[in-house]
Amino acid sequence: MEFRNLILGGIYLIKESFYQKYGFGNPPQSYWIASTHSTNYPVLDRDIKVDVAIVGGGLVGITAAYLLKQENLKVAVIESDKIAEGTTGHTTAKLTSQHNLIYDKLINHLGKEKAEIYAGANEFAIDFVENLINEKQIDCDFSRQPAIVYTQSDQYIQKIQKEVEAASSLGIDVKYLDSLPLPFEVKAAEQFENQAQFHPRKFLLPLAEEVHGNGSYIFEQTRAVDFHEDKPITVISENGYKVTADHVIIASHFPAYGSGGYYFARMYPDRSYALGIKTKEEFPGGMYITAEDPGRSLRFTPDNNDQNNQLVIVAGEHHKTGQGPNTNQHYQNLINFAKETYTVTDILYRWSTQDYTTLDDVPYVGRITSKSPNIYVATGFRKWGMTNSIVSAILLKDLIIKGESPWEPVYNPSRFETDPMIKNFVSSNMEVAKHLIGDKLKPVPSDFDIEPGEAKVIKYQGEKMGVYKDEGGEIHAVNITCTHMGCDLIWNAAELSWDCPCHGSRFTYRGDIIEGPALKSLQTRDPLRFNP
Q: Where are the alpha helices (DSSP H) in 239-327?
A: none
| Residue 6 predicted with pLDDT over 50 | no
Phi and psi torsions of 84, nearest 5°: 60, 25
Measured between alpha carbons, how far is 237 from 124 in angstroms, rounded to an integer?
35
| Residue 23 predicted with pLDDT over 60 | no
Measured between alpha carbons, how far is 86 from 77 in angstroms, rounded to an integer?
14
Measured between alpha carbons, how far is 160 from 322 in angstroms, rounded to an integer?
31
pLDDT of residue 307: 63
| Residue 4 predicted with pLDDT over 60 | no
Measured between alpha carbons, how far is 273 from 319 in angstroms, rounded to an integer?
10
pLDDT confidence band for 3 (50 / 70 / 90)? very low
Q: Is the pTM of this model over 0.85?
A: yes
Q: Report the percentage of the chain scoring pLDDT > 90.
A: 70
CB 250 within 8 A of CB 55: yes
pLDDT tens, residue by residue, 480-497: 999 988 889 999 988 899
pLDDT tens, residue by residue, 495-514: 899 999 888 899 999 999 99
| Residue 441 predicted with pLDDT over 70 | no
pLDDT of residue 8: 33
Higher pLDDT residue, 468 or 429? 468
Provide the Cα torsion 388, 391, 397, 399; round to 10°.
-90
Mean pLDDT of 39-66: 98
Q: How far is CA 103 from CA 117, 414, 440, in A?
A: 11, 21, 40
| Residue 256 predicted with pLDDT over 90 | no
| Residue 78 predicted with pLDDT over 50 | yes
Higher pLDDT residue, 22 or 69? 69
- Cα–Cα–Cα angle for 304, 305, 309, rounded to 5 degrees: 85
Measured between alpha carbons, how far is 472 from 455 in angstroms, rounded to an integer?
14
pLDDT of residue 432: 46
Of 72-81, 163-172, 312-321, the least confident: 312-321
| Residue 252 predicted with pLDDT over 50 | yes
pLDDT confidence band for 259 (50 / 70 / 90)? low
Measured between alpha carbons, how far is 368 from 398 in angstroms, rounded to an integer?
15
Give me the chain's average pLDDT, please: 88
pLDDT confidence band for 427 (50 / 70 / 90)? low
Q: How far is CA 168 from CA 91, 112, 161, 165, 358, in A?
A: 27, 12, 11, 5, 25
| Residue 269 predicted with pLDDT over 50 | yes
pLDDT of residue 9: 33
Q: How far is CA 443 from CA 49, 440, 446, 450, 490, in A?
A: 51, 8, 10, 18, 14
